[in-house]
Amino acid sequence: MADWLEHSVQVEVEAPIDLVWSLWADLEQMPRWMKWIESVKVPPDNPDISLWTLNTGGLEFTWKSRILKVVPNQIIQWESVDGLPNRGAVRFYDRHGSSIVKLTVAYAIPGILGKIMDNLFLGRAVESTLKANMERFREYALKEKVS
């Protein structure tokens, strides 16, 4: 039995929605702003699948994700199909000159691991990391806007 933990964080980026969308939709670039994500590979023959590697504190997790829904400039939704159980969505809101990006991530913690690690502590660590990642994404997007 597993416990699912879910987090939502958002950031406003002073950049047009087309730019913000294109940066996020290029999954292989995600390690540039996602602290724990070591790599993302998208097989050229199947762009709906991505292979992820997360590394934190010497613990490495891998999984395969499948894109469930894509609406350009609005949403990318996924779920893992193998490896670390997770699911989520990134939603984009056009503010005409700026954009809001909202990331929602849910992941399963195996019952025994949840007992060893306090879920509240783990949840706070993940949420603060996700917030920092979104701030890094904002900085990355602003640099890309200028170049």
- Determine which helix (DSSP H) or strand (DSSP E) holds 102, and give its type and residue range: strand 99-110
Place of tokens 């590697």: 53
Token pair for residue 54? 């997360």
Distance between CA 85 and CA 145 in Å, rounded?
34
Query: Which pLDDT band, with edges at 50, 70 and 90, does 146 fall under?
Result: confident
Q: Has this prediction a pTM greater than 0.85?
A: yes
Token pair for residue 109? 């913690």
pLDDT in tens, 80-125: 999 989 999 999 999 998 999 999 999 887 666 665 565 667 778 8
